[in-house]
């Protein structure tokens, strides 16, 4: 068995240009995502909208060279989309294993209005991700996508994901288009996920309607719109966690694991204190059904990933050392690649070896059965 020294719990795969055209049924091929070359680089054409290749594939570039568009598959690191090259980039960074999320799929497929087409694209992505992870099943673990707009399809696909080599969980949007996460319509899906030991994930900004609207950078009276949006995008995760805990999902399904991805951890001590205070003061008149305070369910069933978060590490015992996992976020703009070891030493200064091992290796290895 492989010995792990460092596991990254959140990284991304930039889907190759033929991902969907190669795998969706023929009847969907004309409408499935495809790559087009534009005057401003490569772009993914989805439902008539061209989404440029840019911020999600900046690994290895200097901060001053970051750009929101203008990249092509020739200008980005091959490790973004090629599994063999990915393993090489992991070796450069000293990372033994990665947990992988989509780039284009996670952020774009949710906006496809046709549920049948959306579900077909998600199935195709899951097939691709399984193939990607199968390059080295000891080092690559993928999180599959299910269609939250159709619970029956989501149940079926979750069961299929559990059988696909290399896939270790499912992801849902922070704000599903139909019902919020505290609706009991999702209980059949939670049942399947719990029984099949599939952790349920929500990723920062995924399915957040606030980020799909113009942010105002073309308006001369609005300044700093994009940095402000990036700075406060964890708030969608805050809301999702509130709904999941107060909605009783974790109480009704005590073996289900819920994972907050890329939303950092420094805000969690406040969240837990505030949530317990709300529980103490307001559970009577609101007829809240929870038997235990929110922090109980969090510590029992929730995990959260971070990249750089010194404040969170200093408060790790208030959050729960068993509840947090480090990540490199390759190839996004927040990635620590190829200098993750240096970032880790800076972030973990003064942290004892037992805590370091749990956060950097043990918690992810246990959750994803590595």
DSSP 81-92: T-HHHHHHHHHH
Q: What is the pLDDT of residues 253-277, one digit of tens each?
A: 999 999 999 999 999 999 999 999 9
For residue 156, being part of any structural domain is answered with yes
330: in domain: yes
Angle at 24 (CA atoms; ends 105, 260), nearest 5 degrees? 25
Q: What is the mean pLDDT of residues 21-41?
A: 96
* Structural domain includes residue 1: no
Distance CA 45, CA 36 (A): 7
Q: Helices 187-195 & 151-161, crossing angle to 10 degrees?
A: 10
At 312-350, the pLDDT tens digits run: 999 999 999 999 999 999 999 999 999 999 999 999 999
φ and ψ at residue 214, rounded to 5 degrees: -55, 130
pLDDT digit string (tens) for 191-226? Answer: 999 999 999 999 999 988 776 665 556 677 888 888
State how many domains the chain has.
1
Which pLDDT tens digit goes with each residue over 295-320? 999 999 999 999 999 999 999 999 99
Task: Report how many helices (DSSP H) and strands (DSSP E) the chain contains, helices first.
Answer: 15, 11
| Distant-in-sequence, close-in-space partners of 299: CB < 8 Å, separation ≥ 6 | 320, 322, 323
Residue 37: burial class (beta carbons within 10 Å; 0-12, 13-18, 19+): exposed
How far is 189 from 146, CA to CA, in rounded Å?
10
What confidence score (pLDDT) does residue 355 get? 98
Is the residue at 347 inside a domain? yes
* Cβ–Cβ < 8 Å for 173, 148: yes
Q: Is the dihedral of CA 308, 295, 167, 13 positive or negative?
A: negative
What stretch of H or E contains 252? Answer: helix 249-252
Q: Is residue 60 part of a domain?
A: yes
Nearest to 240 by CA among 268, 202, 291: 202
Q: Check if the beta carbon of residue 15 is closer than 8 Å to that of residue 109.
A: no
**Average pLDDT score over the chain:** 95
Report the percent of the chain where pLDDT is more than 90. 89
The pLDDT of 51-57, averaged and rounded, is 94
In a domain, 2, yes or no: no
**Any idea which residue has 């960074």 for tokens?**
93
Q: Three-state SS for 189?
A: helix
311, two tokens:
């404040």
Does residue 215 form part of some domain?
yes
Q: Which tens digit of pLDDT belongs to each residue from 72-119?
A: 999 999 999 999 999 999 999 999 999 999 999 988 898 899 999 999
Write down the pLDDT at residue 151: 96
- Does the pTM surpass 0.95? The reply is yes
237 vs 215, higher pLDDT: 237
| Boundaries of domain holding 187 | 7-367
Where residue 330 sits, what CATH number does that domain have? 3.20.20.140
**Where does residue 160 rank: exposed (0-12), middle (13-18), buried (19+ CB within 10 A)?**
middle
């Amino acid at each position: 068995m492989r010995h792990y020294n460092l596991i990254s719990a959140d990284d991304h795969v930039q889907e190759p240009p033929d991902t969907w055209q190669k795998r969706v049924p023929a009847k969907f091929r004309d409408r499935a995502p495809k790559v087009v070359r534009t005057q401003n680089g490569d772009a993914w054409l989805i439902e008539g909208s061209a989404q440029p290749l840019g911020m999600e594939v900046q690994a290895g570039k200097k901060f001053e060279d970051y750009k929101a568009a203008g990249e092509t598959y020739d200008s980005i690191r091959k490790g973004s989309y090629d599994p063999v090259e990915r393993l090489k980039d992991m070796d450069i960074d000293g990372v033994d294993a990665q947990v992988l999320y989509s780039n284009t799929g996670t952020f774009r497929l949710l906006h496809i209005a046709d549920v049948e087409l959306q579900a077909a694209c998600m199935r195709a992505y899951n097939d691709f991700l399984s193939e990607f992870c199968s390059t080295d099943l000891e080092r690559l673990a993928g999180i599959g996508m299910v269609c939250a707009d159709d619970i029956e399809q989501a149940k079926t696909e979750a069961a299929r994901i559990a059988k696909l080599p290399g896939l270790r969980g499912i992801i849902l949007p922070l704000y599903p288009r139909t019902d919020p996460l505290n609706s009991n319509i999702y209980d059949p899906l939670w049942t399947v996920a719990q029984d099949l030991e599939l952790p349920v994930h929500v990723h920062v900004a995924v399915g957040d309607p606030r980020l799909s609207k113009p942010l105002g950078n073309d308006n001369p009276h609005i300044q700093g719109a994009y940095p402000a949006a990036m700075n406060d995008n964890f708030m969608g995760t805050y809301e999702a966690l509130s709904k999941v805990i107060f909605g009783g999902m974790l109480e009704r399904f005590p073996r289900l694991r819920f994972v907050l991805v890329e939303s950092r951890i420094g805000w969690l001590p406040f969240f837990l204190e505030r949530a317990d205070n709300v529980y103490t003061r307001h559970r009577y008149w609101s007829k809240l059904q929870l038997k235990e305070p929110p922090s109980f369910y969090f510590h029992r069933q929730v995990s959260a990933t971070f990249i750089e978060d010194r404040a969170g590490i200093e408060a790790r015992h208030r959050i729960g050392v068993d509840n947090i996992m480090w990540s490199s976020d390759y190839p996004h703009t927040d990635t620590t690649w190829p200098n993750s070891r240096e970032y880790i030493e800076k972030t973990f200064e003064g942290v004892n070896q037992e805590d370091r091992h749990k956060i950097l290796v043990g918690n992810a290895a246990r959750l994803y059965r590595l």
